[in-house]
Amino acid sequence: MTYDIPRTPSASRQLWSKVPEITLYFWIVKVMATTVGETAADYLNSTLGLGLSGTTVVMTVLLVVALVLQFRTRRYTAGIYWLAVVLISVVGTLITDNLTDNLGVPLQATTIVFAVALAATFAAWYAKERTLSIHSIVSARRERFYWLAILFTFALGTAAGDLVAESLSLGYGLSVVIFAALIAVVGLAYWRFRLNAVLAFWIAYVLTRPLGASLGDLLSQDRGDGGLGLGTVVTSALFLLVILAVVGYLAVSRRDVALVPATSDGGRAAPAAPAPQMADVAAEPDVD
C-alpha cells in the first residue's frame, strides 16, 4: 500500500516501520511460517527425540536471539522479521502443548486464558499508544506490544484450533477448508460490510495459525491418520523453500517496506484514507 504524503511541515519527515506492509506476500509467508513451525516442532519433538520440554528450551533460546536481532534493527528487515515469526509460531504452539500435555490443562481453559491474555495486551497497548494499527510500529514500546500480541495469537490459535478439531473430530482436510472459510468470511466482512480494519486483521491473524497447522498436518501425517504421508521433513523443507524464495524476493525488491509519515512531535501523521484493498486489512488510520 502506498500513501500520498502531502508536503506539509507536520509530515516533513518519515519513520521506518519495524514490520512489513500487509500485502498478499505477508499472508502467504505467514501461513507457511505457521506450517513450518508446526512440522518443525513435531520433527524436533518426535523424530529427533528431544521431547516437548527439550524442544521448548531449544526453540525459546532461538526465539530470544531472533528477537534481540529484530529489536536492534532500525527498520524492517525481511529475513530477521520472518525468522522471528517462524520461531514465535513454534514457541506459541509449544506453550499451549506444554500446558495441555505436560500439565493436563484442558483446551477449554487454555483457550479462555490466552483469549484474555491477548485482550489484556490489546487493552494495555491501546491505553498507552491510542492505536492498535500495525502501520505505526515505530517505537520500542509499540514493538514490544506487537510481539507479545503475536505470541498470544499463536498460543490462542493453537488452543482454539485443537479444541475445535478434537471436539468435532474433524479430519485435516476438512479443518483446512473450515479455517480458510472463516478467514474468507472475515475478509468479506471487511471489504463488503466495513468491519473494523484492525479487528479484521487480528482475527485473521489468529485464524491463520490453525489453518497453517491443519495444512501441515494434512501434508505430513500418515495416510492411515488422514494425511498425505509426506512426513515432517519433506513438508518442512518444501514450505521452507517457498518462504526463503518469497522472503528473498521481498528483501531484494523491498515491496513490503513501509515508511510512516511522522508529525513534528514524533507521532504518526494520519494519512489520506486509501480505497479499501485486499492487502490493506490493517490500514486503519491511527489516533495518536
Report residue 92 CA to chain centroid gap.
11
**How many whole angstroms separate alpha carbon 214 and alpha carbon 176?**
6
> Is 30 domain-assigned?
yes
> Is 7 domain-assigned?
no
| Residue with cell string 501425517 | 221
What are 83-125's pLDDT values in tens digits? 999 999 889 888 988 999 889 999 899 999 999 999 999 999 9
The confidence score (pLDDT) of residue 261 equals 58
0.95 exceeded by pTM = no
3-state secondary structure of 74: coil
**How many whole angstroms separate alpha carbon 154 and alpha carbon 209?**
6
The confidence score (pLDDT) of residue 12 equals 38
> Is 178 domain-assigned?
yes
Residue 22's identity, in one-letter code, is: I
Region 226-252: mean pLDDT is 89
Whether residue 191 has pLDDT greater than 50: yes
Q: Please name every residue paired with 16 in a beta bridge, in sequence order, or none if there are none.
A: 259
Q: Provide the pLDDT confidence category of residue 15 given band limits of 50, 70 and 90.
A: low
The confidence score (pLDDT) of residue 14 equals 52
Whether residue 202 has pLDDT greater than 60: yes
Cell numbers placing 45: 519433538
3-state secondary structure of 176: helix
Whether residue 219 has pLDDT greater than 70: yes
Domain around 64: 19-257
Number of domains in the chain: 1
**How many whole angstroms separate alpha carbon 47 and alpha carbon 152?**
27
The confidence score (pLDDT) of residue 288 equals 44
**How many whole angstroms separate alpha carbon 84 and alpha carbon 205?**
15
Half-sphere exposure of 151 (CA within 13 A, CB side): 16
What are 19-46's pLDDT values in tens digits? 998 899 999 999 988 888 777 777 888 8
Whether residue 272 has pLDDT greater than 70: no
> Is 226 domain-assigned?
yes
**How many whole angstroms separate alpha carbon 271 and alpha carbon 277?**
15
Residues contacting 37, CB < 8 A, separation 6+: 86, 87, 89, 90, 93, 154, 212
Region 214-229: mean pLDDT is 84
> Is 276 domain-assigned?
no
Please, is 285 exposed, middle or buried when counting C-beta atoms within 10 Å of its C-beta (0-12, 13-18, 19+)?
A: middle
Q: Provide the pLDDT confidence category of residue 81 given band limits of 50, 70 and 90.
A: very high
Half-sphere exposure of 204 (CA within 13 A, CB side): 27
> Is 280 domain-assigned?
no
Whether residue 189 has pLDDT greater than 90: yes
Pairing of strands 259-262, 13-16: antiparallel
> Is 127 domain-assigned?
yes
| DSSP for 192-260, written as a single string | HH---HHHHHHHHHHHHHHHHHHHHHHHHS-GGGTS---HHHHHHHHHHHHHHHHHHHHHHH-TT--EE
